[in-house]
Chain A
Amino acid sequence: MLLALTVQNVSKSFGSKKAVDNLSFEISQPGVFGLLGTNGAGKTTTIRMILGIIPKDEGVIHWDGKEITSKTVRYGYMPEERGIYPKVKILEQLTYFGQLRGMSRHDAAKAAKYWLERLGVAEYQNTLAEKLSKGNQQKIQLIAAIIHDPELIFLDEPFSGLDPINTDVFKNIIEELISQNKIIVMSSHQMFTIEQYCRDLVILNKGCTVLKGNLRAIKGGYGHTNLSLGCSPEAFEKALPVAERLGIKLIEKRANAYEFKINGDESAHAFLRELVDSGICPDRFEIREPSLHEIFVEKVGAAE
């Protein structure tokens, strides 16, 4: 049976400022749980309260029905503020972090070498951390969070500052962790990335919950609201009056596609028929639910 993380009516204030207000959620299945929000929404404070780094003012945080501590669950944490010892060799500090999380020196060094190899930075194991690039330092930070094979993993903005190649490396690792039935709580601004992995999520704004639940159900609730049309600019000039006539509204012009807001599948199907009848053959015609980015902007914008 998989264990569950329960956060119930948790609040935290700093002086007169409410950082987190009556937050509740539960994670009971492996996978990625998204903790989303604008800057200062309370994401990092929530993670810090769960990990016991800062005390909560109110509420309950449980793992398997018991108060969450390092004794009740083995957790890993990659903080938003990256921090490694600049003047210490990579293998040595990873071994140290592993030992602090209960591993023997030998096991910690072995695990560190495995992950260094896996993330393509094995050649730097005897290099001082300060000599590594920012992306490679971030990989070391990720290894420090997962070296001890934790059940519950917190990744605070794991992709910020990464180039596309390293982003893919991180994604592969996250997929591997998901396949190992780990529970991952991920905070990020990169909605597209979160959308790829997230099963459940909470969106926070100024400490308050503006949306929470299963991402597929949330999107399903919105229905098919968007149409993405890929065609040449000339074809678009001809297609636009047709769309307007059918009540389909252009919302965004992109380099290779045009985004429309539709009222339902029927109007989109009618639009496609008219386009084909007019001799316009689109490269792409996709009817879809709103993106997480759009949902986020809508919800947070409404709350503002």
Chain B
Amino acid sequence: MRDIFTVFSFTLRDNVRKKSFIIITTIVLVLILGACALPSLLQGGSESEPGTTPGGQPGSGNVPVEKAYPCYVIDTDNTIPGVINALSAAFPHIEFKEGSSNQVDEYKKIVEESSAIIMEIAKGDILPELKFTVKSIFTSAPTNEIKEVIRQYLVSGAMTKAGVDEDLQKMAMSDIQYSTIPLKMDATGYTAGILITMIMFFAVYFYGYGVAMSVASEKTSRVMETLIVSAKPSRILLGKCIAMGALGLIQLSLFILAGVLGYNLLIPENFTISGMPIEFPSFSVSTALLLLVYFLLGYSLYAMINSVCGATVSRSEDLQTAMMPSVLISLTAFYAAYFAMLMPDSGSAKKILTYIPFTSPFIMPSRLLNETVGAVDILISVLLLIAAIVLVSLLSMKFYQASVLHYGQRFKLKDFLKNR
């Protein structure tokens, strides 16, 4: 226990003082506070711009509107009389021009060099047919809106001709207004679930890489031989993994603290993104504890695998290749959990992923925040995760001990089995 603590405190001190740790922590803290301050900065800027709607589109008030781009309307057979006037009234920022079918090639040249549109009208079976020519598939021309205005113009004309009452016409041309009222008014639990899963993956990948790097650097600097006669390899390994996990917790806590401070002090009240307020979900103490348990257990499982990856290499350059199995397992587990979270009716998949030790740390945060997970499910999941950690740790320690003095070619599973 004493050896574990000694390795832990040395590794933690060494890593906290590293320039890379200080620089990354500072940059991320600045980014978090900057992101929190951004809404205030944006709101302050938008207030001073007159004549624009909140969405930034030109408004239709008394202020003269500058025409943004032309639309050449080619209606050779005069299929829709008065269409240009109707469209000009509906889209004041587009300059609708009467075009000729003989000049299509000239219009196309203009379209290629600008945001202009060509609209060709031809007779159809019941309603006319429209053909739009735009610059590319990525051009965001309001073709659907134009089509809808023309449809309404034609239907309205037909109803007037048929002598339909004006009120009846208005009713026929209107949409039914509707709204959906969810009992749970926010999506914060869902968002927080995804966020925690992403943080979990980040921790597994980044701090797990730290464990592997720490082991590999001791091997490449040949300190390992001095170390393993001083303390049992298993204790060195545990001390390192706990230290890197604590380092991760310290860094994440700083980020969360900065986020909470930024949220309370910098983000304006009632600020929304696409109509959704930014809110933190409120956890119960037991949920918060379970989230921490899954974080620690998930990190431990992957840290053990990563430490072995670090011990198999003799040169730091080989570390990325050595970590491929661990990265593949964590990536697969993360995406399996992520897609199960996104897909509706994925109850069985979520349940299975809850029991698999590699995926449970990724799926459980979301489930705990959005569903009622049975105590038996949680118990089985945690026990299986602990069993997997013990099993992987035992294998890892044996593999670590066998590989730490292996220099030259990368230490492989067959070398381990041969030396057993």
Contact = CB atoms under 8 A, between A and B. Distances in A.
A179 to B, nearest CB: 25
Contact of A82 (B218, B222, B228): B222
B223 interface: yes
Contacts of B14: 85, 87-88
Interface in A27-65: 48, 51-54
20 contacts: A15-B418, A51-B229, A52-B229, A53-B225, A53-B228, A53-B405, A54-B405, A70-B229, A70-B230, A79-B225, A83-B225, A84-B223, A84-B226, A87-B14, A99-B6, A100-B7, A100-B227, A100-B231, A141-B226, A144-B226
Contacts of A258: none
Closest 4 CB pairs of A and B: A83-B222, A100-B230, A83-B223, A79-B225
A178 to B, nearest CB: 22
Nearest to B3: A100
Interface in A141-187: 141, 144-145
A86 B223 CA distance: 10
A96 interface: yes
Contact of A96 (B10, B18, B221, B229): B10
Contacts, number: 56
A101 interface: yes
Given A84-B221, A100-B231, A77 B418 contact: no
Contacts of B10: 96, 99
Interface in B214-238: 218, 221-231
Given A53-B405, A54-B405, A83 B224 contact: yes
A97 interface: yes
Interface of B: 2-3, 6-7, 10, 14, 18, 218, 221-231, 405, 418
A79 B221 CA distance: 13
| Secondary structure type dominating chain B contacts | helix
Interface of A: 15, 48, 51-54, 70, 75, 77, 79, 81-88, 96-97, 99-102, 141, 144-145
Given A53-B228, A99-B6, 12 more contacts: A48-B405, A70-B229, A83-B218, A83-B224, A83-B225, A84-B223, A86-B221, A97-B226, A99-B10, A101-B230, A102-B2, A145-B226
B408 to A, nearest CB: 12
B226 A77 contact: yes
A255 B222 CA distance: 41
A146 to B, nearest CB: 12
A119 B230 CA distance: 22
A101 B221 CA distance: 20
A100 B230 CA distance: 6
A100 B18 CA distance: 22
A57 B187 CA distance: 63
Contacts of A83: 218, 221-226
Nearest to A108: B6
B222 A81 contact: yes
A97 B230 contact: yes
A294 to B, nearest CB: 33
Given A88-B14, A101-B230, A79 B222 contact: yes
A122 to B, nearest CB: 21
Contacts of A99: 6, 10
A79 B225 CA distance: 7
Contacts of A48: 405
B225 to A, nearest CB: 4
A15 B414 CA distance: 12
A164 to B, nearest CB: 25
A145 B226 CA distance: 8
A85 B221 contact: yes
Given A51-B229, A96-B10, A100-B230, A85 B405 contact: no
Contacts of A84: 221, 223, 226
A79 B7 CA distance: 20
Contacts of B227: 100
Contacts of B7: 100
A82 B230 CA distance: 15
Given A77-B229, A83-B226, A100 B418 contact: no
Contacts of A97: 226, 230
Given A88-B14, A100-B230, A81 B225 contact: yes
A82 B224 CA distance: 10
A82 B226 CA distance: 9
A49 to B, nearest CB: 12
